[in-house]
Amino acid sequence: MKIYLNGKLVDKNQALVSVFDHGLLYGDGVFEGIRSYDCLVFKLKEHIDRLYASAQAIVLAMPMNKEAMMKAVIQTLKVNKLRDAYIRVVVTRGEGDLGLDPRKCKQPTVFIITDKIVLYPQELYEKGLAIVTVATRRNIPEALSPQIKSLNYLNNILAKIEAINSNTEEALMMSADGYVAECTGDNIFIVKDGTVATPPKAVGVLGGITRDAALVLSKKMGLETKEVLMTRYDVVNADEVFLTGTAAEIIPVVKIDGRSIGKGKPGKFTQNLIKEFRKITRIEGERYDL
């Protein structure tokens, strides 16, 4: 496996980052998770735009322009001969000292990993996922904007640990005010009476690329869509529930906190949405040849 590291493609065991890198010491950096399907990088431009927006928000000067970054992603996929892959693009503040001062970091670190990922077994896409509401609350937007995909994911990891301890695969996180926010790595949607709803970004959720795609597809499929504050009561009484994310794609939820959703199996709309989403992953993005 070759890793893109600061302009060079190096072997995995040579892809080394300094222990003084502020991405490691303080989580000071940004990242994107992207997917490629049959030699097409799904919504590459949208992901790179979001990466640069995250960098702008934390005053991180990117060492290359967007076009060069997209070329680096394609280059890394091609050298590893990957048709279908998960892509992780990471930009850190760079090597500094043990202090917080970002001015001590003279050059950002950029690395790109292309590999396979299986977030959930296929069986869960067919039978549905059980999730649990956890005590760990989502970070408040006033402290750290959820639109920044930073390298500090401890909030999400603590919630994931609670899910694991409850023998479930995923955790539903609430906002500080007690509204439904998102899961540890996915956005959440409910279907109720012909309407598809998801929490608004202002409540403390990431504006996911797959989230946006699901909203667009839902409208095309004839359902009303809305972003609205919702409580756990709204979720457990939904007709259908599903999660969206780059790694997870679209996955149905059939049980929350021991309560069955709808008929306790993936709903018809969610099943159709999964099919429609899988179609666009083959046509919307940047194509490359091996």
233 pLDDT exceeds 90? yes
Token reading at 177: 């005010």
The mean pLDDT of 232-245, rounded to a whole number, is 98
Is residue 35 a contact partner of residue 82, using CB atoms and an 8 Å limit?
no
d(CA 106, CA 258): 51
* Beta-sheet strand order (sheet of 8-11): 8-11, 2-5, 109-115, 85-92, 29-36, 40-42, 285-287
Q: What percent of the chain has pLDDT over 90?
A: 98
pTM above 0.85, yes or no: yes
Residue 23's pLDDT band (boundaries 50, 70, 90)? very high
Residue 259's pLDDT band (boundaries 50, 70, 90)? very high
pLDDT of residue 64: 98
Sequence length of the chain is 290
* Domains with residue ranges and CATH for the chain: 2-115 (3.30.470.10), 122-280 (3.20.10.10)
pLDDT of residue 119: 81
pLDDT of residue 59: 98
Residue 112's pLDDT band (boundaries 50, 70, 90)? very high
d(CA 107, CA 153): 23
Decide: residue 256, CB within 10 A, 0-12 exposed, 13-18 middle, 19+ buried. buried
> DSSP class of residue 132?
E
Which residues are known catalytic residues?
149
d(CA 284, CA 20): 39
Residues 40-89 have pLDDT tens digits of 999 999 999 999 999 999 999 999 999 999 999 999 999 999 999 999 99
118 pLDDT exceeds 90? no
